[in-house]
Structure 1
Amino acid sequence: MPLLECIGLTKRWGSVTTVDNVDITVNPGEVVALIGPNGAGKSTIFNLIAGTIRKSGGTVSFLGERVERLAAVDLARLGMSRTYQITSLFPQLTALENVRLALQSCTRSRLMPVPSKALRAQTTEEAMEWLDRVRLKAHANTIAATLSHGDQRLLEIATALAMKPKLVLLDEPTQGMSVDETRGTVELLKSLLKGTNMAVLLVEHDLEVVFGLAQRVVVVEQGRKIADGLPEAVKADPAVQRAYLGVGHAEN
């Protein structure tokens, strides 16, 4: 059974259809990349899945249950976390505090304005472990807003993964990174996912990232799905080459 199953996802803004009857599945432990040219509808699809915008049509099932009417916060509690195209952190809190809040949100004490000493100690220890795993332990007490752009992206990944989701939606995790930072992030994500059953749905423009991480690639163009398959098969698809990879008739 798929972990995530989207059938007929559709979004209309008045007379304009930005997502048109798109099906997407993600299986447990699978890394799926969603790609397409600018304006293809990728971010809208992400927001439809994550419950941040209302669907015009279609269904979303997560863990075998229909969830398209649930808000983003409810999906997070079920085990779906995400990052954003524009970094979304608490900028005036430290790196440690950002991860600790993510961890606390997964506990029964998430609504407590002041956590107990025991919970604070537990989440601090776990947060430091996550910062170490994303190579930010030395910046634990650094205010998030003062971190470099690349380190802010890594911190956001840490906060998403620290919640131990069953599915994480990564929205352009390497956007704005240098070539070296991007390659380092790909290797880091591989190591973080290794040995887990965590699934990933990834939106990314950098094809080196896509083909370095994804086990399956879904391609959309003008709101419609035009390909879905193994990376090498998608690379060779003439429709994908024309629409996205800039070869064949893409220049016309």
Structure 2
Amino acid sequence: MNLNKYIRFLVIGVIFCACEPQALMTYIGVDRLQFVDAKDFRYSFVYEPKTVTSDTVWVTVQTMGDVYDYDRAVSLVQVFEEEWTYTYDELGNKIDSLFDIRNDQAESGIHFIPLSEHTTFKVSANTARANLPIVVLRDVSLVKDSYRLRLRISPNDYFEEGVKDVLEKTIIISDVVVKPNGWDDIADKYLFGEYGPVKHRFIIDILGLRIDDDFFKMTKADISLLNYYNSKVKTALYEYNIANPDNPLREEPKDGDIEGALVTFPNGV
């Protein structure tokens, strides 16, 4: 029994020793680059004054390999994402399909400064990580729709591609509000009531705050603060509707509706 165990371990060891150098060979003497993570990053101009026409989003890259005493250039390219679109008959049966580029791809020079114009994409000397500036632009198209900028690490004289799963990262650019994750926990019942994009923008304008996930984490346990915000937006809504008796604040109409729902607020905690 002991002899059988020894033989098994010996065989495994031989296989490991035979395979390990081959696996390591792809990394020896090669410097590689990848993003720190592949999570989508959402950026909205909605929290910025109308005078702000551009901003900088930072993406972080990480090297694999040695660290050097000189700067190393980083190359990024835009990847155009593709998707399936389907055509259905009047009974809902799928009759055709098409694989094509998504129609919400960010356009260079319209939604972001061309990547070729960036001269600061680099990993500085004696470092293994860098924050790269992506300048996004406030085009009027962002008020209605979000646009996706998919970035990919491109090999150059300094770096080969790193781990496949973190070679690409998407920045979603918009000038629209997005319902925060914490809204349903507190706002629906006590603070702001049922969610709506017009209401969301109104609250931002009145409170002068970022009404996002961090906001709800901050206010969750502070009842007096919740009531203060609730009272402030209710008063502002009352004043707005008094000043606009023929055009009270409403959400945008849904498909098939003539007018949108009136914006209202609950009575607080």
Shorter-chain TM range is under 0.3
What's the TM-score once normalised by structure 2's chain length? 0.26
What's the TM-score once normalised by structure 1's chain length? 0.28
Looking at CA atoms only, which structure, 1 or 2, has the larger radius of gyration?
A: 2
